[in-house]
Amino acid sequence: MMAIQYWRNKDRYYRLIGVSCTRCGRDFFPPVYRCRKCGSEELKDKEMPKEGKIVTFTRLYETLPGFETQAPLNLAIVELKNGVKVLGQVVDTPEELLKIGAHVRAVFRRIRVDGESGQILYGYKFVVEHVDARRETG
């Protein structure tokens, strides 16, 4: 990805800024140009909720260029609390907790280092909420 393409999206990548329809209230991430529910083109930026649950997941062994050192990569489609589905990596999670229905939260992480420029790209990833850990911390 070109540096400028990344820079343009940094708010979306850093804080999960999507859009919300000002007419019907439906949220979208990635942003859309036209509301898929009511057809309105009046959309404004909105930060997505950070909690959700795993709809489906995979472990990818043949990674894209730039992700080799992270292989295998856990990826999931997560349904956020507002119903929006987001694709992202799942990290810092023991394999046995990676399940359909598992509760996750979005975190800010390094995505990869761009091979050509050496630039470090950051963005959202997900971690599974550890039930035991939550109980311990009250």
Partner 1 sequence: MRVFVASVGLTKIGDHWNKSLVDLAVEAGRKALSSKIEPDYLIIGNMFSSLAASQEHLGALVADSLGLKGKPAFKVEAACASGATAFHTAYNLVKSGASESVLVIGVEKMRDLEPEYVSQALAMAESAEYTQFVGASFAALNGLLARLYMHETGTTRDELSSIPVIDHKNAVSAWHAQFRKEITPEVVSRSSIVADPLRLFDCAPVGDGAAAALVVSERLVSEASKFVEVLSSSVCTNNFSIYERDDMLSFSSTREAFEKAISTASVPKGKISFAEIHDAFSVTGAISLEAMGFSKKGFACKDAAEGKYSLNGELPINTFGGLKARGHPVGATGIYQIAEAYLQLTEQAGENQVKGARYGVTQNMGGIDTTTVVHVLGSAE
Of residues 8 through 47, those in contact with partner 1 by CB under 8 A are 9, 13, 28, 30, 36
Residue 96 CA, distance from chain mean position? 21
Q: Which stretch binds partner 1 (CB under 8 A): 19-27, 45-53, 64-72, 127-135?
A: 64-72
Cβ proximity to Zn ion: between 36 and 135 the closer is 36
In this chain, which of 19, 21, 104, 128 binds Zn ion, going by CB under 5 A? 21
Give the gyration radius of the chain's Cα atoms. 16
Q: How far is CA 92 from CA 37, 96, 121, 125, 134, in A?
A: 35, 12, 19, 10, 15
- Asked if 40 interacts with Zn ion (CB under 5 A), we say yes
- Asked if 24 interacts with Zn ion (CB under 5 A), we say yes
Cβ proximity to partner 1: between 59 and 134 the closer is 59
- Asked if 112 interacts with partner 1 (CB under 8 A), we say yes
Of residues 69 through 108, those in contact with partner 1 by CB under 8 A are 70, 73, 75-77, 85-89, 100
Residue 64 is classified by DSSP as P
Q: How far is the CB of 100 from partner 1 (least distance, A)?
A: 6
Q: How far apart are CA 122 and CA 36, in angstroms?
A: 29
Q: How far apart are CA 108 and CA 13, in angstroms?
A: 9
**CA dihedral over 81, 33, 4, 58, signed as positive or negative:** positive
In this chain, which of 49, 51, 67, 82 binds partner 1, going by CB under 8 A? 67
